[in-house]
Amino acid sequence: MAHASDGQVLEFKLPDLGEGLTEAEIVRWLVEVGDVVAVDQPVVEVETAKAMVEVPCPYGGVVTARFGEEGTELPVGAPLVTVAVGEVDGAEDAAADGPARGTGAAEAPAAKTPAAEKKAEGSGNVLVGYGTSEAPARRRRVRPDRPAATGVSGRANGRVRAAGPVDGPVRAAEPADGPVPVISPLVRRLARQHDLDLRELAGSGPDGLILRADVEYALRAAAAQGGRTADQEAGAIRVPDAASASSGAFSAPSAGPHPDGTRVPLKGVRGAVADKLSRSRREIPDATCWVDADATELMRARTAMNASGGPRISLVALLARICTAALARFPELNSTVDTEAREIVRLDRVHLGFAAQTDRGLVVPVVRDAHARDAEGLTAEFARLTEAARAGRLTPGDLTGGTFTLNNYGVFGVDGSTPIINHPEAAMLGVGRIVPKPWVHEGELAVRQVVQLSLTFDHRVCDGGTAGGFLRYVADCVEQPAVLLRTL
């Protein structure tokens, strides 16, 4: 993952972020060349197919080079930064007096001190949350007289600084008139794929925020005008005209104007979701059953809980508590199938996933050991993971390892669904919207709060009787929450 060259400069490479991820896109650099970093201090924010991750560097010292611009996709094992380890003062002297030699990494003339060797050891941990507890040192800027490495060495306020010769073309620096009002990495990527200068667009979002619709509108407008060319330092924008497009001269494998529509690459979160759902459909013989339930008493119970003081209890937390109780009675549904061994693996612990729709797409954060949490604990964990999902800060660990999924599609205003199982799990409980409906209650017609529940399950792990028993127990708990008192 990282190795030391001759001298004091260590190279830190993009680590394996887990779950078979082979590449990541640089979203934002958190340090610049010349900054002093501490062991396990985050140096770059990257986006994978799973989540946005801050990557900490296992070395402490002075950053001598950065590799890759914001928006660049790097494979696992590619260099991220080089760090000159040692005391800060010694690093400053080395940066000021030591000439740069070699390509790709700089060498410092001073010998390693014991303190440098200690810092060079680092913690060996590279994911946020797995590092040492040491607080990051205050960053100090060191201005080296000469570039220390080959490649892109820095980017600040839209400016790209090249530290030496670079193989291939280098994209032109952006104008230094303030940051571009863009939040979404997908918007930047779409503009970059078509060499569109975002500074030329007027955003339609809040405070002039540039949205994906603004970029797509600009591309359509350019195509309608027969082509649009704006010279840049690294090349020119080229939009195919109607003649070349109709003659087949233009064939774009990525998103862009096309006579038959717009092509959207299956990459990032969308690509990961597509792969996982396709695999689920190929491998899992699923079936779905439904039941309507009177949720009036559950809603009253929640109101009573929240009226008694203390943290407010969410509805999804109560549904999760019902799920864990049902899985304790029907453990066949908390399992997975080992296709190679032709075995069903029943799992002892419930790691409950819940479907969450975000601006980046569908994600399924996982509540660890949900069976061991009460309603308050579940509420707090749901809130934490939901906020992290909306902010794009979920780690790969937050998104993996689920054993059962709760899908509350009622938030979209729909009653029912036949969801696709989250492979390699064996089942998913779906919850529709809770709405007032006519219902026979105690022999009389009344207006009650009714919800539709659905269970999609892997028919390899159980038969319909088990699935029906699970769903009926869930419905009984929704209709009569006191049923849960047996297992509390």
Peptide bond into 181 cis (omega under 30): no
Q: CA-CA distance, 205 to 220, in Å (whole number)?
A: 19
Q: CA-CA distance, 400 to 403, in Å (whole number)?
A: 9
231 catalytic per annotation = no
- Closest by CA position to 121, among listed 85, 87, 91: 85
Is residue 172 a contact partner of residue 197, using CB atoms and an 8 Å limit? no
Per annotation, catalytic residue among 93, 398, 459, 476? 459
Strands 159-162 and 152-156, sheet pairing: antiparallel
Tokens of 459: 């028919």
Is residue 351 a contact partner of residue 400, using CB atoms and an 8 Å limit? no
441 catalytic per annotation = no
Tokens of 32: 């610049």
Please give the single-letter amino acid code of residue 447.
V
- Closest by CA position to 371, among listed 325, 312, 428, 425: 325
Is residue 47 a contact partner of residue 109, using CB atoms and an 8 Å limit? no
Tokens of 325: 């109780």
CB atoms within 10 A of CB 415: 17
Per annotation, catalytic residue among 145, 338, 359, 463? 463
Within a 13 Å sphere around the CA of 412, how many CA atoms are in the beta-carbon half? 13
Active site residues per annotation: 459, 463
